[in-house]
Amino acid sequence: MKMIWAVIRSARVEPVTRALKGIGVTGCTVSRVRGYGEEWHIYEPLIHGGHHKLEIIVADDQADKVARDIAENAWTGMKGDGIVSVFDAGQIVKIRLEK
């Protein structure tokens, strides 16, 4: 299993999650985040509209497709479009199924 972690513009959350549903992703955690990157001296979240973090666990063979779809649907061509990272998820425990 792979964990995909992406930080994208808040305005692109709806197109990205719609695309993910379209390729069969059944769940995604979405959180509003704050931070800074290459443009650290221009931290103005109200002007730039902020960012959201998406966290998705998928099968190994889906990871590349999901990461590409996130990047394609989050893209605006401007600085601050975000980042996508893919890494091993390790052990997964579904809490509801544990006793």
pTM over 0.95? The answer is no
Q: What is the pLDDT of residues 23-48, one digit of tens each?
A: 999 999 999 998 776 665 555 555 55
| Strand pairing category for 51-58 and 82-88 | unpaired
Q: Give me the helices (H) in the chain, please.
A: 13-22, 45-48, 63-74
pLDDT over 70 (residue 49): no
Domains and CATH numbers, the chain: 2-97 (3.30.70.120)
Share of the chain above pLDDT 90, in %: 72
